[in-house]
Amino acid sequence: MKQFMAMLNKNENEDPPPTKLLDLAGQLCQNLQSSSPSLEKLVKAVMRCKNKRHFLTNIHVVRACVSVHIHNGQHDTACRLLECCKAEEKEELVQLWHEIHYQRVMEKHQTDSLTPLQKFRCRKRNPPPISLCPEGLKNRNYSEAVRQHLYRFAAEVTVNPDKKQREGLARDMNLQPTQVYNWFANYRRRQKS
């Protein structure tokens, strides 16, 4: 840690900072415990650095910064940090984004955990920014045409198609037979309620 702080002070004005310094920051962030005072000191030093954008290309540094901000109740700061960081591990950044919002909900409801439904609602209310999902969020819904075809089949033929019918529907709509099976199972469940 002392070596890192000395190197950081020495190379404060270098743009970009030396690779050795960036690697050392990532290694320290990976090794230190998430709530340790040393990690908090390291994160403060990185966040004060005028070339912090270079440090935010390392997923370990980003994770450490986010966890310290969450620990200190600075959820908005953690979100802004994720929006502007340039780390390559987008899936992990999206997961961190969700963790921030889960933590907010847990603090609001004064609970230690969330149910899967609460997590789902939290993700729906707080989608990650485009900077984290440049290709957009994965849409798990079927197109309107597919849904209409399935609804029509349920209304006109049966709500409980046999294996041959499911395979035919799957072929017609470019789906897997298990997707058709699950859609009809969910449809029957929705009709009961």
Q: How far is CA 118 from the centre of its chain?
A: 15
37 vs 183: which has the higher pLDDT: 183
Average pLDDT, the chain: 87
Size (the chain), residues: 193
- When pLDDT is cut at 50, 70 and 90, the band that residue 15 belongs to is confident
pLDDT of 180 > 90? The answer is: yes
Give the pLDDT confidence of 122-169 residue by residue, as tens digits: 998 998 888 887 666 666 678 888 999 999 999 999 999 999 999 999
Give the pLDDT confidence of 66-80 residue by residue, as tens digits: 888 888 889 999 999
Q: Give every CB contact of residue 106 below 8 A, 6+ residues apart in sequence.
A: 112, 113, 114
State the Cα–Cα distance between residues 53 and 8, nearest whole angstrom: 14
Mean pLDDT of 10-37: 81
Could you tell me the two tokens for 54?
């270079």
State the Cα–Cα distance between residues 50 and 158, nearest whole angstrom: 65
pLDDT of 192 > 80? The answer is: yes
CA distances to 80, 93, 147, 179, 189 from 159, in Å: 47, 41, 14, 14, 11
CA distances to 58, 82, 108, 188 from 46, in Å: 12, 15, 30, 55
Amino acid identity, position 157: V
CA distances to 17, 91, 127, 139, 183 from 136, in Å: 32, 12, 10, 9, 24
Lowest mean pLDDT among 8-22, 49-63, 88-102, 109-123: 8-22
Give the pLDDT confidence of 42-71 residue by residue, as tens digits: 888 888 888 888 888 888 888 888 888 888
State the Cα–Cα distance between residues 35 and 159, nearest whole angstrom: 53
State the Cα–Cα distance between residues 40 and 27, nearest whole angstrom: 15
pLDDT in the model for residue 34: 65
Q: Is the dihedral of CA 86, 34, 31, 20 positive or negative?
A: positive
pLDDT of 37 > 70? The answer is: yes
pLDDT in the model for residue 158: 92
Other CB atoms within 10 A of residue 52 CB: 17
* Inter-residue contact 175 to 146 (CB < 8 Å): yes
56 three-class SS: coil
Mean pLDDT of 91-96: 89
2 three-class SS: helix
What is the percent of the chain with per-residue pLDDT over 90, rounded to a whole number?
A: 36
pLDDT in the model for residue 22: 86
